[in-house]
Structure 1
Amino acid sequence: MPTTPAAGSIVIAHDSSPHSAAALSWGLEQASVEDRPVDVVHLLSVTEAQQAAWLGASGAGLQALDDLRDQAVAHLEGLAVLARAQYPSLRIRTHVVEREARHGLIDLSASAHLMVLGSHGRGPLTSPLLGSVSAAVTRRAECPVVVVRPPRPASDTAAPAGSGVLVGVDGTAESVPVLEFAFAQAALRGHHLTAVHCVRDLIAAYVGDAGFPTEEEMLRARAVLAESVAGLAEKYPDVAVSRRLNRGLLDQLVTDADKAWDLVVVGGRRHGALHRLLVGSTTIAVLERAHCPVAVVPEGRTPTG
């Protein structure tokens, strides 16, 4: 079994849970659409394995680690057999990486084209492997990361599937890779693209209208949205694009009962701890509330100060 994923591949993290099974299914389909190799990775933490085996000084944890490794290898090889039968043209490899999950995935992102993770259901991401890890990986990964969120519960009244791709636009140069990724995905899958710019999001969400935004702000926001989309609309002429100004937070929009998005695309801005404390992370809020896959695309770094 190889230990190093191929450069430019789609890396799919797998931990044998139903949530990572959904990620595997999405990642394989994406690889087929993009015609890219696939690397399915199981992260095996040596420290966690030793603790689980009550290692102590007996050395029992070493045998436990060997057993866990053998089980993971066998499970991944079984998955690969099924995947190759479904996608015979795909190049699929499997890996067991002995590394703590978040650090291992962040390292793998340096050479990956795309990384795919699963997540638990609604609310905070709390899965031991692909829950809290998701927040760290999406914030620090070098490549786009797709977190495959569970669909709406069957008891919910949902809009028909097929609303297309939703992308948040803020008009900065650093966010250009985010919009580029959204256009590329819409083109690959023949989806409609909705580009949304949130105006005075915190004020509108928590204070109410109160005269905000002003007419001047709305004119400026329309210009930002139009300018952001214009160049890429020319580059991807086959993508149907809608432009939308929204009052409120982006994570409120992703739960719109009238829409069933195929993919939501947001930026992975590398904010400092103080910013996250005072303002919070829109990206994490979207990841917690979306009912569809969410792509977090690294933005360009901004000057400090």
Structure 2
Amino acid sequence: MTPSPERTVTMERILLGYDASDGADAALDWVTDRALSRRARVEVVIVTNPFLQDQPRAEDDLARAEHRLRAANPTLPIETERIDGLMPRALTDAAADADLLVIGVDTDSSIREALHGWMSLRVSATATVPTCIVPSGWSEKSGPITVGLASDPSSDAALTFAASESAAAGESLRIVHAWLGPIPATTVSSQRDVRAQHMQLMDRAVERLQEVAPDSAVDRVLIHDNAASALSIAASDSSLMVLGTHGRGVLAGGFFGSVGQDLIGRLEVPIIVVPSGR
């Protein structure tokens, strides 16, 4: 009898951008929990400015981060690296081959975030891989994986990613679709027609997901509201939020009313931003 070939289990490569802030420590905790629940290898990267004398402190911070990871899981494959360069380019370039980039954000210090050039937004807007932004003060909790459904293909990759996360975490998948365009007030039937069009969009999205994740339990939320407002409400009992992006960058994202810019750094739940076409 010919023995069956062994199944190859891929190991997720997680790159953690670390700067020893409260948000970065929360991101470190999130990565630790993730690595304990699935096969993963972790790379901790600190970017130092070549024009400043911050290299010695960065080496100490890397050592502390590695110690915390090994204390939680002594067998976890860990690499640490200090990179001289400028943010966010140096970090996103280092993460180009990663499966997931993870950074932290200090939710209680919008002034500090502004002084640092809204770095969490800039990283998530320019990264070519899914990027998880973990808020300071994060603690593990159970709850649905919530994903935002856009009216264009920009959320297609996010939907597939969220379905995969739902299956891996054993949590239900919640799809939120909101629209703010005017509902015709002429007749009840016309209002129903507009809602029916958005329902068809939701149905098509669920059908696509069932092709790749047939066992996913999907909760549908369809609402006439601002997308950021609808997702903020859904985030209150979610364990993870997943958003798509056009990859236009921060300035263009602001011009086009990026939902991510309204949510990142303001929610208490980790947000994963998935580039379109990923």
Q: Where on the TM-score scale, by shorter chain, does this alignment land: which range?
A: 0.7 to 0.9
Contact map agreement 1:226 1:243 (CA 8 A) in 2: no
Whole-angstrom distance in 2 between the partners of 1:298 and 1:125: 27
Contact map agreement 1:123 1:288 (CA 8 A) in 2: no
Output the aligned Cα RMSD. Answer: 3.0
Identify if the C-alpha distance between structure 1 residues 283 and 26 changes in structure 2 by more than 3 Å, giving closer, same or farther. same
Corresponding residue of 2:147: 167
Q: Does 1:13 align with 2:17?
A: yes
1:243-275 per-residue CA deviation (whole Å, 9 max, x = no partner) reads 110221232123328932110100121237885
Contact map agreement 2:12 2:39 (CA 8 A) in 1: no
Aligned counterparts, 1:136-155, within 5 A: 136-150=122-136
3-state SS of the aligned residue for 2:61?
A: helix
Identify if the C-alpha distance between structure 1 residues 246 and 122 changes in structure 2 by more than 3 Å, giving closer, same or farther. farther
Corresponding residue of 2:5: none
Whole-angstrom distance in 2 between the partners of 1:106 and 1:299: 16
Whole-angstrom distance in 2 between the partners of 1:275 and 1:166: 25
Whole-angstrom distance in 2 between the partners of 1:250 and 1:174: 14
Where does structure 1 lack aligned partners over 5 or more consecutive residues? Answer: 1-6, 50-64, 153-160
Selected match of 2:102 from 92, 110, 116: 116
**Post-superposition shift, 1:289?**
2.6
Corresponding residue of 1:92: 78
Whole-angstrom distance in 2 between the partners of 1:15 and 1:77: 12
Contact map agreement 2:145 2:171 (CA 8 A) in 1: yes
Whole-angstrom distance in 2 between the partners of 1:41 and 1:280: 31
Identify, as 1 or 2, the structure richer in strand.
2
Q: Does 1:127 align with 2:118?
A: no
3-state SS of the aligned residue for 2:214?
A: coil
1:177-218 per-residue CA deviation (whole Å, 9 max, x = no partner) reads 1101101111111111110111226x58xxxx9679822111
Corresponding residue of 1:190: 170
Q: Does 1:296 align with 2:270?
A: no
Whole-angstrom distance in 2 between the partners of 1:178 and 1:219: 23
**Post-superposition shift, 1:234?**
4.2
Give, as a single letter, the amino acid of the residue that structure 1 aligns with 2:178.
Answer: C
TM-score for both structures, normalised by structure 2:
0.83
Where does structure 2 lack aligned partners over 5 or more consecutive residues? Answer: 1-10
**Post-superposition shift, 1:93?**
1.0
**Post-superposition shift, 1:128?**
7.2
Give, as a single letter, the amino acid of the residue that structure 2 aligns with 1:180.
Answer: T
Corresponding residue of 2:195: 218
Whole-angstrom distance in 1 between the partners of 2:169 and 2:35: 12
